[in-house]
């Protein structure tokens, strides 16, 4: 028995200093293999007395357990060490740059059109569109602006023929005409789109964007016009309160007509919309002129309502602090990256108009 | 329209202060653009303080002063004054100022090697005294808090500048503005003094209004003033003319101008001695010419309304007079004209000749036809007062009498339109103050429109008059009505927004470019579309409507490349024009991609963008927008601006005849022609309008979900096939061998050259086979293998590679 104990102690010592996994496995088969030392000891049990056998078997089992336990701990120890070593070797610099990211952007004009559409959608407006090339009738005459009307001078028009029959629409109002001609009242639409006037300087571009609004029904009055625009401006600029002023003005296609100013102030060189004692003109509107309704076959004694036109680019400039209108259309990569919006940032009521 | 408050007060008794008047004007629709003093040359001189005066490094008698000029700014000024010392308050003149004493304009200059920004002034330089020994010393207690402010008070009267809408000719005269203000409660309109002018003799220059098909002049009033002494205008008149922003010329001219701005009544004064016998108002014949008062010679067309005498044309009626009969200081006798010209005639002639004058601006909008005599009387009176002379009887020739406009107005329309109510009494008062004659017939008001308001023709105009004078602030703000009549967006509008964001999400920057472009670039992308020139383009390089989005996109791509950007992805969604009629346009996405993928990447191999990059972008965007990828068919027919061998067309399914998209490399000729410097340039385009709406909505097509849990097998095949045989067709042949069992076919290798016969290529495909009913055994798989090989070999002439 003491032999065995000694063997055990020797092996425990050996295991304690051993660090090679193959050698530990060798020890394992030396001890527990088919002709292993411990295995052989167990075989001997059959040839001794019952009395001795009981005692020896118990000792032998204890020694076996101890050694096996030691071996498995050792194996685990060595494996852990090896894996740690491997991991250590595999370590990379995770601060190296990722694979190239290509970030696309949505143009501010498109984003603002989506914002506007989302706001008006909430109060039941649908979106209508019309062609960029218009005829003289839809752009002017049907809108109560006959040829000899001085109001035409305010629209520097691009023409496509010498008879001045075909032109690039100077405003989105012809969409009103088209919408009413092809349908029956009531009408409740907005019409965003490209518009064109032949002047070009720091604050004017030969192409810009407008959104037209039209609501015609039996009892739509100026109070509704005020309410609608008040709602829109507040939502658009995402402010709780907005100072707004309706001022009489003149457009041939509305009567009475108004221009709308909103209050602002300059804070730290930046324009802040809503409060303040300065006024900024942002849109024109009015009650659709009975002559226009007659021209589009709507009976003005039964139906009435309002129309408005807002400059989209200008709204975007005010909201997002963009100074130069012309830069909108110059496709400067830096500008587009800077002022563009993430494609996933879709303006909507439930997710919020802007991030 | 410019005028001073003083001038306004000639016509209205008001207790309003200036700011109240300004606010009121804006509130009744006469928008105030500005209310400012004329700028004065003295405005630039400001109060300043010397912070630090040290000796000039190169001149002992000069000093170098740091001067506080307010708003946190300090500048350096070289000064020779012995009294310049620390803490002194004085007057500073910045560069650009004009020194009153010698009228010299200051500029930034170097004085003995040191730059001086402006100067500090002595009293003599400012003409305040003869004291020139040193700079002005201002008293601390008075000026300490005024650093940066103007030293001279601007005492000139402030001028109101109104922006008058085209419907309000009556407010192109001060009296009309006063009338509006008075109706709005700002005061009482003064009654015009009755003239006690004495007329002597007849106007003996005969005036004829010739019968014409369209006679642009329907009334011509005139009088002769004999024995005048023309001269410089008196100060009050000069000041009035100056406040309009105009230069005084002579008393006679200034008086006619004054009356025009006072009463909105244009007049014209002729030197009567230069008129050849008589005045004939007639239409011109083409080729007639005259020299106008703007010193330009105008050659006329047929049927322009002219004032002439026996020798020819004297002037264009209501637009501009001629030099031949113009008044001068030596003029002794004048003929004063006060006429009515038809707006349409004025507008047509002035447009044709491109003339804009104050008179034209007024006649075009509509002058009060009943103001002929009033204008003559008021001007004659002033001329007599200033220049002396004797006035003849007034002579008025007419071919038409003025007809009153009468409107029967139902006050209910007011509330119906505006949403609020105004008492009849107040409503009538407003209208009467505006000059309406009001009589009542039960509920209806019978209104005679004042002759100076040609813009008012129907009831709705009356509503506007009342609400504008009452004030828009009385209109309630109603809650928005949320009723919806139809969905916000239709299918194509949704598709537009979806594709826009889908393409952007592939790394493209959206841009918006002009709808017009340079015909020279457009030409490269026009294909068979007609060119659509703009008659009056803003510039010669934006002279046609774009037939495609690419001309602008490529132009701006080049600009960005020239800015030094190398890897650029840009797109635009918008109209491309196919003809010049309304509606001849398509909504198109155009996208360009230039440069390299993975440029300067530490772990990926960089490569030039290629056709299959844009093919992925276009196919993925189409799939994201709802098109089934399995239906899409590609062919190699593309517009001529694509590389003929490296581009493709995309069809929504095999039955479609029209490609809805193209992708590929741009034609090398275009890169060369436009001198584009980039390593690679690929493009794609999608015609949004060509996408067909799926018959099934998503809620209907999602109902069935089938999948197989039986084991699937993969088999690889390699075929030797003709070089031009399309992989898409090979894939279709394999799929059609057994549509049920073959789940997918992927091309994983294409190879030409070594070991492959000339004119052939090797295509390797991976085929996934799976049954929905059972696990396939070796035998089944062998059969399908054989079927695939035999189908391909018989249908394509390919040989399996062994």
DSSP letters along B654-702, please? TT--S-SEEEEEEPHHHHHHTT---S-EEEEEEEGGGPPPPSS-HHHHT
Beta bridge partners of B588: B574, B687
- What is the band of B70 on the pLDDT scale with cuts at 50, 70, 90? confident
Reduce the DSSP state of residue B156 to 3 states and report it.
Answer: coil
Radius of gyration of chain B (CA): 42
Q: How many CB atoms lie within 10 A of CB B71?
A: 7
* Fold of the A108-339 domain: BirA Bifunctional Protein; domain 2 (3.30.930)
* Fold of the B41-146 domain: OB fold (Dihydrolipoamide Acetyltransferase, E2P) (2.40.50)
**B104-137: pLDDT as tens digits:** 888 888 888 888 888 999 888 888 888 778 898 8
**CA–CA min distance A12, chain B (Å):** 50
Q: How many CB atoms lie within 10 A of CB B510?
A: 27
**pTM given for the model:** 0.84
> Does A348 contact B at CB distance below 8 Å?
no
**Higher local confidence (pLDDT), A199 or B494:** B494
Report yes or no: B667 and B550 within 8 Å, Cβ to Cβ: no
Is there a contact between B582 and A131 if contact means CB atoms under 8 Å apart? yes
Is there a contact between B483 and A124 if contact means CB atoms under 8 Å apart? yes
* 25-44 of A, contacting B, C-beta below 8 A: none
**B606-649: pLDDT as tens digits:** 999 999 999 999 999 999 998 989 899 999 999 999 999 999 99
Is there a contact between A166 and B458 if contact means CB atoms under 8 Å apart? no
Our CA dihedral for A172, A173, A174, A177, rounded to 10 degrees, sits at 140
- Position B239 scores a pLDDT of 85
A-B Cβ pairs (cutoff 8 Å, strict)? 260
The stretch B559-574 carries a mean pLDDT of 95
For residue A201, what are the contacts with CB-CB under 8 A and spacing of at least 6? none
C-alpha angle A194-A199-A202 in degrees, rounded to nearest 5: 95
> Which residues in chain A are closer than 8 Å to B568, comparing Cβ atoms?
333
The answer to whether the bond into B583 is cis (omega within 30° of 0) is no
- Position B154 scores a pLDDT of 65
**CA–CA min distance B704, chain A (Å):** 30
C-alpha separations of B659 from A157, B348, B625, B662, B663 in Å: 35, 50, 16, 7, 11
- CA nearest A160 in B: which residue? B534
> Which residues in chain A are closer than 8 Å to B489, comparing Cβ atoms?
117, 126-127
> Which residues in chain B are closer than 8 Å to A124, comparing Cβ atoms?
481-485
Least Cα distance to B516 among B497, B537, B486, B495 occurs for B537
> Does B98 contact A at CB distance below 8 Å?
no
- Average pLDDT across chain A, whole number: 90
B425 pLDDT higher than 60? yes
What is the C-alpha to C-alpha distance for residues B160 and B147, in angstroms, rounded to an integer? 29
Report yes or no: B28 and B168 within 8 Å, Cβ to Cβ: no
B656 pLDDT higher than 60? yes
Report yes or no: B792 and B719 within 8 Å, Cβ to Cβ: yes
- ipTM, 2 decimals? 0.88
**CA–CA min distance B789, chain A (Å):** 41
> Which residues in chain A are closer than 8 Å to B601, comparing Cβ atoms?
97, 99-100
Report yes or no: A210 and A235 within 8 Å, Cβ to Cβ: no
Q: Does domain B2-38+156-189 have CATH number 3.30.56.10?
A: yes
Is there a contact between B31 and A149 if contact means CB atoms under 8 Å apart? no
Is there a contact between A133 and B502 if contact means CB atoms under 8 Å apart? no
The stretch B366-395 carries a mean pLDDT of 94
> Does B75 contact A at CB distance below 8 Å?
no
Least Cα distance to A229 among A285, A277, A180 occurs for A285
The CATH code of domain B406-471 reads: 3.30.56.10
> Does A22 contact B at CB distance below 8 Å?
no
What is the C-alpha to C-alpha distance for residues B585 and B581, in angstroms, rounded to an integer? 9
Least Cα distance to B338 among B374, B306, B364, B365 occurs for B374
Q: What spatial distance separates the first Cα and last Cα of chain A, rounded to whole Å?
A: 82
Pull the structure tokens for residue B666. 């741009």
Pull the structure tokens for residue B402. 């003025």
Is there a contact between B480 and A132 if contact means CB atoms under 8 Å apart? no
* Fold of the B491-690 domain: BirA Bifunctional Protein; domain 2 (3.30.930)
- Position A120 scores a pLDDT of 96
- Position A28 scores a pLDDT of 87
What is the C-alpha to C-alpha distance for residues B679 and B610, in angstroms, rounded to an integer? 10
* 529-568 of B, contacting A, C-beta below 8 A: 532-538, 542, 545, 552-553, 556, 559-560, 563, 565, 568
- Position B75 scores a pLDDT of 86
Is there a contact between B574 and A194 if contact means CB atoms under 8 Å apart? yes
- Position B249 scores a pLDDT of 92
C-alpha separations of B543 from A267, B515, B517, B520, B717 in Å: 43, 10, 6, 9, 57
The stretch B146-151 carries a mean pLDDT of 84
* 298-357 of B, contacting A, C-beta below 8 A: 343-344, 347-348
Pull the structure tokens for residue B395. 């002579």
- Name the residue among B28, B478, B585 with its Cβ closest to that of A227: B478
- What is the band of B141 on the pLDDT scale with cuts at 50, 70, 90? confident
- Position B40 scores a pLDDT of 65
Q: Which portions of chain A are predicted below pLDDT 50?
A: none
Q: How many CB atoms lie within 10 A of CB B702?
A: 9
- Name the residue among B27, B166, B460 with its Cβ closest to that of A289: B460
What are the structural domain ranges in chain A?
Answer: 2-90, 108-339
Is there a contact between B417 and A129 if contact means CB atoms under 8 Å apart? no
> Which residues in chain A are closer than 8 Å to B581, comparing Cβ atoms?
133, 166
- Position B111 scores a pLDDT of 85
B708-800: CATH architecture: 2-Layer Sandwich (3.30)
- What is the band of B767 on the pLDDT scale with cuts at 50, 70, 90? very high
- Name the residue among B27, B486, B577 with its Cβ closest to that of A247: B27
* 491-520 of B, contacting A, C-beta below 8 A: 493, 497, 500-516
Is there a contact between B464 and A129 if contact means CB atoms under 8 Å apart? no
DSSP assignment letter at B724: T
Is there a contact between A96 and B485 if contact means CB atoms under 8 Å apart? no
The stretch B379-391 carries a mean pLDDT of 94
- CA nearest A301 in B: which residue? B413
Is there a contact between A227 and B477 if contact means CB atoms under 8 Å apart? yes
**A116-128: pLDDT as tens digits:** 999 999 999 999 9
Please compute, for residue B614, the number of CA atoms within 13 A of its CA located in the half-sphere on the CB side: 35
Least Cα distance to B470 among B440, B426, B433, B436 occurs for B426
What is the C-alpha to C-alpha distance for residues B741 and B745, in angstroms, rounded to an integer? 11
The distance of Cα B316 from the centroid of its chain, to the nearest Å, equals 31
> Which residues in chain A are closer than 8 Å to B413, comparing Cβ atoms?
none
Q: Which of A127, A248, A301 is the best residue to mutate to test the B interface, defined by the most B CB atoms within 10 Å of its own CB?
A: A248
> Which residues in chain A are closer than 8 Å to B364, comparing Cβ atoms?
150
- Position A154 scores a pLDDT of 67
> Which residues in chain A are closer than 8 Å to B458, comparing Cβ atoms?
290
Is there a contact between A123 and B480 if contact means CB atoms under 8 Å apart? yes
> Does B467 contact A at CB distance below 8 Å?
yes
B632-636 long-range contacts (CB < 8 A, ≥24 apart) are B633/B728, B634/B728, B635/B659, B636/B726
Domains B2-38+156-189 and B406-471 share a fold: yes
- Position A175 scores a pLDDT of 97
What are the structural domain ranges in chain B?
Answer: 2-38+156-189, 41-146, 206-398, 406-471, 491-690, 708-800
Is there a contact between B167 and A250 if contact means CB atoms under 8 Å apart? yes
- Average pLDDT across chain B, whole number: 91
What is the C-alpha to C-alpha distance for residues B775 and B766, in angstroms, rounded to an integer? 19
- CA nearest B458 in A: which residue? A290
**CA–CA min distance B584, chain A (Å):** 8
* 3-62 of B, contacting A, C-beta below 8 A: 26-29, 31
- Name the residue among B31, B419, B538 with its Cβ closest to that of A221: B419
Q: What spatial distance separates the first Cα and last Cα of chain B, rounded to whole Å?
A: 94
- Position A296 scores a pLDDT of 96
B206-398: CATH architecture: 3-Layer(bba) Sandwich (3.50)
- Name the residue among B510, B538, B585 with its Cβ closest to that of A106: B510
């Amino acid at each position: 028995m003491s032999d065995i104990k000694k063997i055990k102690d020797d092996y425990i010592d050996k295991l304690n200093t051993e660090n090679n996994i193959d050698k530990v496995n060798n020890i394992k088969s030396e001890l527990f293999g088919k002709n292993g030392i411990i295995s052989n000891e167990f075989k001997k049990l059959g040839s001794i007395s019952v009395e001795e056998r009981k005692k020896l078997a118990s000792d032998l089992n204890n020694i076996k357990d101890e050694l096996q336990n030691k071996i498995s701990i050792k194996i685990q120890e060595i494996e852990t060490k090896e894996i740690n070593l491997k991991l250590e070797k595999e370590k990379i610099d995770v601060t190296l740059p990722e694979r190239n990211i290509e970030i696309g952007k949505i143009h501010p004009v498109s984003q603002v059109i989506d914002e506007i559409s989302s706001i008006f959608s909430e109060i039941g407006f649908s979106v209508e569109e019309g062609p960029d090339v218009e005829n003289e009738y839809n752009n002017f005459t049907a809108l109560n602006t006959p040829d000899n009307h001085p109001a035409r001078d305010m629209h520097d028009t691009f023409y496509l023929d010498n008879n001045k029959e075909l032109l690039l629409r100077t405003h989105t109002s012809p969409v009103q005409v088209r919408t009413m001609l092809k349908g029956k009242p009531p009408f409740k639409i907005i019409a965003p789109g490209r518009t064109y006037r032949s002047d070009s300087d720091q604050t004017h571009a030969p192409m810009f964007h407008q959104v037209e609004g039209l609501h015609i029904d039996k009892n739509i009055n100026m109070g509704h016009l005020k309410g609608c625009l008040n709602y829109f401006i507040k939502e658009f600029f995402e402010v709780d309160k907005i100072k707004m002023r309706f001022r009489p003005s003149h457009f041939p296609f509305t009567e009475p007509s108004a221009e709308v100013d909103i209050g602002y102030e300059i804070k730290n060189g930046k324009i802040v919309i809503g409060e303040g004692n300065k006024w900024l003109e942002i849109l024109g509107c009015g009650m659709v002129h009975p002559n226009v309704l007659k021209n589009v076959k709507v009976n003005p004694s039964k139906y009435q309502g309002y129309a408005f036109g807002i400059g989209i680019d200008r709204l975007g400039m005010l909201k997002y602090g963009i100074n130069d209108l012309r830069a909108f259309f110059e496709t400067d990569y830096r500008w587009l990256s800077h002022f563009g919006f993430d494609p996933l940032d879709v303006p909507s009521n439930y997710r919020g108009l802007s991030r | 329209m410019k005028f001073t408050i003083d001038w306004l007060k000639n016509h209205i008794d008001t207790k309003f202060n200036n700011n109240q008047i300004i606010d009121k004007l804006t509130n009744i629709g006469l928008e105030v653009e500005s209310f400012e003093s004329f700028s004065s040359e003295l405005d630039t001189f400001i109060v300043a303080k010397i912070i630090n005066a040290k000796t000039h490094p190169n001149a002992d008698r000069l000093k170098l002063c740091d001067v506080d000029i307010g708003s946190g700014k300090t500048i350096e000024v070289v000064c020779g004054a012995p009294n310049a010392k620390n803490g002194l308050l004085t007057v500073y003149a910045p560069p650009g100022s004009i020194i009153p004493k010698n009228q010299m304009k200051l500029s930034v200059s170097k004085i003995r090697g040191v730059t001086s920004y402006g100067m500090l002034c002595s009293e003599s330089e400012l003409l305040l005294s003869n004291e020139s020994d040193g700079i002005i010393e201002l008293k601390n207690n008075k000026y300490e808090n005024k650093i940066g402010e103007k030293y001279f008070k601007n005492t000139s009267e402030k001028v109101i500048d109104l922006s008058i809408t085209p419907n309000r000719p009556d407010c192109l005269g001060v009296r009309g503005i006063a009338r509006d203000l008075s109706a709005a409660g700002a005061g009482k309109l003064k009654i015009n003094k009755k003239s006690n002018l004495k007329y002597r003799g007849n106007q003996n220059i005969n005036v004829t209004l010739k019968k014409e098909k369209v006679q642009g002049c329907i009334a011509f009033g005139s009088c002769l003033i004999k024995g005048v002494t023309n001269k410089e205008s008196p100060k009050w008149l000069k000041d009035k003319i100056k406040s309009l922003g105009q230069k005084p010329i002579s008393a006679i001219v200034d008086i006619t101008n004054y009356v025009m701005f006072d009463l909105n009544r244009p007049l014209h004064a002729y030197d009567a001695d230069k008129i050849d016998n008589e005045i004939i108002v007639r239409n011109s014949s083409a080729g007639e010419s005259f020299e106008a008062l703007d010193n330009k010679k105008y050659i006329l067309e047929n049927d322009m309304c002219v004032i002439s005498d026996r020798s020819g044309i004297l002037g264009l009626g209501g637009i501009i007079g001629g030099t031949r009969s113009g008044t001068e200081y030596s003029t002794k006798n004048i003929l004063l004209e006060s006429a009515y010209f038809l707006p349409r005639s004025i507008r047509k002639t002035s447009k044709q000749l491109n003339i804009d004058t104050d008179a034209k601006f007024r006649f075009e909008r509509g002058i009060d036809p009943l103001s002929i005599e009033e204008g003559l009387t008021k001007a004659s009176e002033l001329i007599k007062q200033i220049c002396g002379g004797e006035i003849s009887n007034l002579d008025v020739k007419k071919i038409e009498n003025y007809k009153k406009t009468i409107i029967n107005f139902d006050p209910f329309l007011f509330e119906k339109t505006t949403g609020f109510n105004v008492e009849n009494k107040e409503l009538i008062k407003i209208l009467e103050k505006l000059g309406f004659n009001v009589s009542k017939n039960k509920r209806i008001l019978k209104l005679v429109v004042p002759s100076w308001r040609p813009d008012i023709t129907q009831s709705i105009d009356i509503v506007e008059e009342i609400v504008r004078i009452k004030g828009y602030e009385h209109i309630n703000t109603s809650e928005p009505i949320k009723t919806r009549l139809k969905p916000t967006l239709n299918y194509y509008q949704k598709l537009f927004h979806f594709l826009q964001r889908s393409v952007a999400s592939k790394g493209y920057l959206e841009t918006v470019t002009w709808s017009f472009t340079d015909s020279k670039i457009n030409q490269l992308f026009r294909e068979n579309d007609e060119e659509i020139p703009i008659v009056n383009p803003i510039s010669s390089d934006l002279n046609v409507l774009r037939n495609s989005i690419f001309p602008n996109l490529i132009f701006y791509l080049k600009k960005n490349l020239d800015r030094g950007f190398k890897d650029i992805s840009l797109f635009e969604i918008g109209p491309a024009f196919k003809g010049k009629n309304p509606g001849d346009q398509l909504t198109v996405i155009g996208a360009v991609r230039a440069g390299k993928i993975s440029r300067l990447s530490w772990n990926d191999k960089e490569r030039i963008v290629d056709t299959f990059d844009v093919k992925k972008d276009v196919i993925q965007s189409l799939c994201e927008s709802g098109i089934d990828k399995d239906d899409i068919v590609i062919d190699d027919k593309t517009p001529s601006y694509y590389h003929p061998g490296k581009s493709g067309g995309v069809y929504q399914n095999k039955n479609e005849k029209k490609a809805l998209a193209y992708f590929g490399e741009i034609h090398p000729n275009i890169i060369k022609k436009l001198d584009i410097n980039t390593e690679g340039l690929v493009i794609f385009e999608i015609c949004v309008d060509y996408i067909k709406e799926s018959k099934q909505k998503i809620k209907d097509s999602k109902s069935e979900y089938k999948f197989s849990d039986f084991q699937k097998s993969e088999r690889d095949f390699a075929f030797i096939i003709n070089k031009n045989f399309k992989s898409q067709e090979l894939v279709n042949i394999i799929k059609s061998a057994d549509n049920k069992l073959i789940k997918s076919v992927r091309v994983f290798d294409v190879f030409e050259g070594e070991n492959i016969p000339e004119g052939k290529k090797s295509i390797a495909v991976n085929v996934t086979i799976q049954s929905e009913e059972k696990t396939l055994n070796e035998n089944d798989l062998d059969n399908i293998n054989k079927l695939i090989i035999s189908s391909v070999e018989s249908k394509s002439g390919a040989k399996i590679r062994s």
